[in-house]
Amino acid sequence: MRLDAFSICHRYDIITAVDSVSVSLESGEFIGILGPNGSGKTTLLRVLAGVLKPCAGAVLLDGEDIHKMPPKLVARKIAVVAQNGYIPFPFSVRDMVMMGREPHLGRFSRESRRDTDVVSQAMTATGITHLAKRSVLDLSYGERQRVIIARALAQEPGILLLDEPTSHLDPGYRMEIMDIFKSLSRRKNIGVMAVLHDVNLASQYSDRLILLNHGRKVADGLPEEVVTKENMESVYGVDTVIQTHPVVGCPHVMLVPGSRASGQVEG
């Protein structure tokens, strides 16, 4: 499975959020999207998911225009883990994960044995089986995030789009969840594209990084090629020291305090 976006633009009224960005994602690949606040990361992800229509360019899912496909077909191939949304009612964890089967169910059909099995597997993979009957509203932030991930897995997608899946999580949870995604992309050959705020986390887990600034793609390549002193300076406006992670071998960023004087940097 592959997802290709060709020179996508998106505007909110007169503000251009995404400006001719092209990306492609293949099965088994793990791509991190980096960029400062307001650089168009989330908008790009929503366009790729088919939620937003681009004002120019096209997104092809296995060669088919995603914005012309019925949402149900898209949802069988692409799952999205958005930033924690508002859940108005106390759905049980199991019900919540079962919602991931929706794209596979017909209008009048009921859940089959297979649907139940897929849901159980998804809950095992994210380690939430013991929470099955609890209400999602009673869970901690990290547990809730795992429920949403399990729901995405229940969709049996070929592609996972993640919008800051680990923000608000402590380092332990953060690593645990990133490990889940990494192993999914390896074992199940799922293509993962994750919007991340944490440059080091992104560098550590991604096969490829894309750096956005003001809606434009400013760098695209291996972590070593993207996480450079120059890029950090020009995009984030910070002075950094970049070293190699002693265990993983990826570039690791250390901020030099006080390097970004207010007013010195735009955006």
Partner 1 sequence: MKKRLVMLLLLLFAAMVIAAGVGAVTIPVAEVISILLGRIPYVSKWIPNMGIENAYATIILQVRLPRILLAVIIGSSLAGAGATLQGLFGNPLADPYIMGISSGAALGATIAISFKLPSVIPGLSSVPQAAFLASIATMTAVYFLAGASGRVSMDTFLLSGVVVSSFLWAVMSFLMMVSGDSLREIMMWLMGSLSNKGYAHVKMAAPYVGFGICVLIVMARDLNLLCLGDDEARNLGVDPLPAKRIIVFASSLVTAASVSVGGIIGFVGLIVPHTMRMVVGPDHRLLLPSSIIAGGIFLVLADTIARTLIAPCEIPVGVITALVGAPFFFYVLKRRKR
SS3 for 141?
helix
By C-alpha distance, which of 173, 93, 177 is closest to 131? 93
Rank residues 100 and 223 by Cβ distance to partner 1 and give the closer one: 100
Spell out, one character per residue from 33 to 72, where the chain touches partner 1: x when CB under 8 A holds, - when not: -------------x--xxx------------------xxx
Closest separation between CB of residue 68 and partner 1, Å?
Answer: 13
Contacts with partner 1, 112-151, as mask; x by CB under 8 A: ---------------------------------------x
# residues near partner 1 by CB under 8 A: 33
For 189, other C-beta atoms within 10 Å of its C-beta total 13
Q: Based on CB atoms, which residue is closest to partner 1, 139 or 211?
A: 139
Nearest Cα residue to 82 out of 60, 54, 52, 105? 52
Q: CB 195 → partner 1: shortest distance, Å?
A: 14
Cβ-in-10-Å burial (0-12, 13-18, 19+) of 100 comes to buried
Among 15, 55, 56, 99, binds partner 1 (CB under 8 A): 99
Q: In this chain, which of 95, 207, 225, 239 binds partner 1, going by CB under 8 A?
A: 95
Residue whose CB is less far from partner 1, 44 or 250: 44
Angle (CA) 143-38-15 rounded to 5° is: 135
Q: Which amino acid is at 8?
A: I
Residue closer to partner 1 by CB (options 23, 74) is 74
**Chain-centre distance of CA 181, in angstroms?**
10
Q: The tokens of 230 are what?
A: 């120059």
- Contact partners, residue 28, CB within 8 Å, separation at least 6: 185, 186, 189, 190, 191
Minimum Å gap between C-beta 191 and partner 1 is 16
Shortest distance, position 25 Cβ to partner 1, whole Å = 16
Q: Quick one: tokens of 152?
A: 């995405």
242-246 contacts, C-beta under 8 A, 24 or more apart: 245/200, 245/203, 245/204
Q: Is 167 or 228 the residue whose CB approaches partner 1 more closely?
A: 167
Q: Does 248 bind partner 1 (CB under 8 A)?
A: no
Q: Select the span of 17-25, 98-106, 114-122, 210-218 touching partner 1 (CB under 8 A).
A: 98-106
Q: Which stretch binds partner 1 (CB under 8 A): 1-9, 80-88, 212-220, 230-238?
A: 80-88
265/213 Cα distance (integer angstroms): 13
**Which residues lie near partner 1 (CB under 8 A)?**
46, 49-51, 70-76, 78-80, 82, 85-92, 95, 99-100, 102-103, 105, 107-108, 151, 155
